[in-house]
Structure 1
Amino acid sequence: MAATVLVVEDEKEIRELLRRYLERAGHGVLTTGSGAEAVRLLGERGIDLTLLDLGLPDVDGEEVLREARERGRVPVVVLTARTGVEDRIHGLRLGADDYVTKPFSPTEVVLRVGAVLERARGSSAGAAPAASYGGGRLRIDESRHEVTLSGVPLGLTPTEWGLLTALASVPGRVYSRYELVNRVRGYEFAGYERTIDSHVKNLRHKLGDVGPELVETVLGVGYRLGWGRDP
């Protein structure tokens, strides 16, 4: 899945290594070692995904991550030397779609980029027709990768989209945090289950007043979609 990837990394050797591997995979690549330049590029160009080192010399990488989230919800894969579980959880709670620790395999990074892009764009091939829930209040169109609530489009991150579509696949079924991790990410790492609650909280916030009843908590088990699918 070809895309335009912005690599934000202050170490030139790493920037060039990632650029070469991403271009071999068919992606267009922009690179910068400056957080301020990254923010400018996010505002001016059609970036499909950002590879972001959090340890930038001029602008805090977390600020760049927030900008990416606000400017068209650009998916972000974080690159960092911080290896602790708490650090990874913190990055994901900030809105990162994936997290790669240094030193890393550039081949693995390219595979992670492809997986995030696939989740972000959705697959139109063989996609199910749009489905509605709760008497038409919630509408999920997987072919267009769109969600509307009472006719208003919701700007969901790839992770929030994955959570909602996973729960909506079988309304009323309770999904454990472990199941949701694997449905949303396609893999797991230690500690990520603990971030599911944060993503659910963010999703509920975007759903507004109906958030708690639409995404229900089942204590000690996990979550389920509280609205039935319309005929």
Structure 2
Amino acid sequence: MNILIVEDESAICNVLKSYFLNEGWEVELCNDGAEAARMNAMQKFDLIILDLMLPGWSGEEVCRAIRKESNVPIIMLTSKAEEKDTIHGLNLGADDYITKPFRMKEVVARIYALQRRMNMLSAANDVLVTFNNGKMLVNFETKEILVNGKPANLTSTEFKILSVLIKRPGKIYSRSDLSYEVLGYRFIGDGRTVDMHIKNIRRKIEEDPRTPAYITTKVGEGYRFNFHVDEGQQ
């Protein structure tokens, strides 16, 4: 795995790099937001660790720029602990959010969980399928989705959430179950992180996100996907 660490505090960079190298991962460091966006455009990374408080471009600006180019998984690091900051980061396309100070074992565990889920989905799904009489096309191999012929541009985590739901249409997944299936751990708190990912997915795939057709909510229980694979593809 090739990881880009975007962090302007050298002490944190060095600790992260040391742990990651010990796991056998390749690591590149960057302390400037604009340079990080340029590096991502020039080469392929498997994961980006992105600090929100950076000189020059902020972490939010970097995340926004990267999302225009790729769906590379992004884990944000920040000292901002308020829920609204977490939601804002996820809205920009981050896949996970870790608050400083953090434990390195937790960071490494989350990376492994993310990697494991990505590998499982890639191994289990290598076909192209359609739903809703061809209105939604899902390519599990390239992790691309077209809705009414237009790219949905889901982030890595958004695609994984949708993949979990569409593999078992009609099944209700609680927030905790979705968190475990996608991230490899159950959420801590009220589950707003999962809700925000669902909100983002709906915004990208639904004709009217306020009256969703693909992903609906069963109050007090969770979320479900409402369409089976189009006839002839089962």
For this structure pair, what is the TM-score category when the shorter chain's length is used for normalisation? 0.7 to 0.9
- 1:2-21 counterparts in 2 under 5 A? 3-21=1-19
Question: Partner of 2:85 in structure 1?
Answer: 87
CA distance in 1, matches of 2:175, 2:23: 33
Question: Partner of 1:182 in structure 2?
Answer: 180
Q: Does 1:60 align with 2:58?
A: yes
Question: Partner of 1:163 in structure 2?
Answer: 161
CA distance in 1, matches of 2:223, 2:104: 35
CA root-mean-square deviation: 2.6
The unaligned stretches of length 5 or more in structure 1 are: none
- 1:132-151 counterparts in 2 under 5 A? 132-150=130-148
Stretch deviating more after TM superposition (42-51 or 192-201): 192-201
CA distance in 1, matches of 2:43, 2:170: 41
Percentage of identical aligned residues = 40
Stretch deviating more after TM superposition (133-142 or 28-37): 133-142
Deviations 1:111-164 (A, max 9, x none): 322332344465443547544332343343434434344555542212211221
Q: CA deviation at 1:85?
A: 3.9
The unaligned stretches of length 5 or more in structure 2 are: none
CA distance in 2, matches of 1:35, 1:144: 28
Question: Partner of 1:116 in structure 2?
Answer: 114
Deviations 1:91-112 (A, max 9, x none): 2333211122222232332232
Question: Partner of 1:31 in structure 2?
Answer: 29
Change (3 A) 1:130 1:8: same
Question: Partner of 1:228 in structure 2?
Answer: 228
Q: TM-score, normalised by structure 1?
A: 0.84
The answer to whether the 8 A contact 2:152-2:204 is kept is: yes
Question: Partner of 1:201 in structure 2?
Answer: 199
Change (3 A) 1:37 1:45: same
CA distance in 1, matches of 2:76, 2:56: 17
Q: Secondary structure at the match of 2:207?
A: helix
Q: TM-score, normalised by structure 2?
A: 0.83
Stretch deviating more after TM superposition (177-186 or 12-21): 177-186
Q: CA deviation at 1:74?
A: 2.0
Q: CA deviation at 1:58?
A: 2.2
The answer to whether the 8 A contact 1:181-1:192 is kept is: no
